[in-house]
């Protein structure tokens, strides 16, 4: 009898140890979408998850072609052109050295939505709760809430970096409407501006177990002459589902300032003179 009671706990412990090994930390793609050889091997051998068109949970990754994913930005309004001319991006035909630019992320301001979709090519995670959907972005660990309980966007909501989003299911399509964005974030590193009149409509579909598609329509009538419509973003589920993890990737102001002074500003010729004592 003694051996019987000893063997059962031992078997349980052994099972737990094996399970822990099987569910070791498996990270999603880092910058540029790279994964370690071991992560790729485990992902290739992972079982295909059960398919439910309303189950969007998991870690997702895509490489896009700008926020519109190859779509064309409409012309600026007069006001939009003034806003654009105040921006000094570090890329594109009007690009300047980063040390001379004024990109908000250069001082660790939040990138905002939808810029966080493509910034540094990082993944995001979707967590579904009974009354809301959370997007957790690897870069800056920012959170975006999509309320699914039938509420309307508050008329007196303060402008936000990530807006205020509400959604509902239209068949197998998740329809998301968002507004109350602030005017502090850019859409991209090219300096496309936005203001507080911006709204966004997204249609998100989940056509198979490992694919997510998001088509965005951005409307900002005081900045752009017409709505900007993206080509569909195609996100791929990072396997194994349920154990793939996001890295901790913060923009830390103290570290960013140190980088700016020691590297970025020196490269741009704006470094502070070294005091001689």
pLDDT in tens, 21-60: 444 566 766 556 788 888 888 999 999 999 999 999 999 9
Residue 4 CB-density burial (10 A; 0-12 exposed, 13-18 middle, 19+ buried) = exposed
Torsion, CA 163, CA 164, CA 166, CA 167, rounded to 10: 20
Q: Which residues pair with 59 in a beta bridge?
A: 125
Return the pLDDT at 265.
Answer: 59
Q: Six-digit token pair at 68?
A: 């519109």
Tell me what percent of the residues of the chain surpass a pLDDT of 70. Answer: 80
Hey, what are 248's tokens?
A: 């901790």
**What CA–CA distance (Å, rounded) separates 81 from 224?**
9
| Whether the Cβ atoms of residue 194 and residue 188 lie closer than 8 Å to each other | no
Per-residue pLDDT tens over the stretch 69-89: 999 999 999 999 999 999 999
Question: What is the pTM for the complete model shown?
Answer: 0.82
- Tokens describing residue 83: 């806003």
Residues in the chain, overall count: 277
Q: Taking a C-beta distance cutoff of 8 angstroms, is the pair 196, 182 a contact?
A: yes
**Measured distance CA(218)–CA(71) in Å, rounded:** 12
Residue-wise pLDDT for 117-129, tens only, equals 988 889 999 999 9
């Amino acid at each position: 009898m003694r051996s019987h009671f000893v063997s059962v706990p031992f078997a349980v412990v052994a099972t737990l140890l094996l399970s822990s090994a099987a569910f070791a930390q498996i990270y999603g793609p880092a910058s540029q979408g790279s994964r370690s050889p071991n992560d790729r091997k485990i992902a290739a051998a992972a079982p295909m998850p059960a398919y439910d068109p309303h189950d969007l949970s998991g870690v997702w990754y895509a490489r896009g072609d700008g926020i519109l994913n190859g779509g064309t930005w409409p012309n600026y309004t007069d006001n939009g052109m003034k806003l654009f001319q105040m921006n000094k991006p570090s890329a594109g035909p009007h690009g300047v050295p980063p040390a001379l630019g004024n990109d908000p992320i250069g001082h660790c301001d939040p990138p905002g939505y939808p810029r966080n979709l493509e910034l540094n090519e990082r993944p995001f995670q979707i967590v579904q709760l009974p009354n809301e959907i959370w997007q957790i972005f690897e870069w800056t660990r920012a959170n975006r809430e999509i309320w699914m309980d039938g509420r309307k966007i508050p008329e007196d909501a303060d402008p936000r970096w990530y807006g205020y989003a509400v959604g509902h299911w239209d068949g197998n399509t998740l329809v998301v409407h968002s507004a109350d964005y602030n005017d502090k974030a850019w859409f991209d590193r090219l300096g496309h501006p936005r203001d507080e009149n911006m709204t966004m409509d997204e249609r998100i579909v989940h056509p198979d177990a490992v694919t997510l598609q998001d088509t965005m329509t951005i409307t900002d009538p005081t900045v752009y002459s017409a709505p900007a419509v993206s080509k569909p973003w195609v996100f791929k589920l990072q396997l194994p589902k349920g154990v793939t993890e996001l890295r901790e990737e913060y923009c830390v102001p103290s570290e960013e300032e140190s980088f700016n002074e020691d590297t970025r500003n020196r490269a741009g010729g704006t470094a502070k003179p070294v005091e001689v004592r």
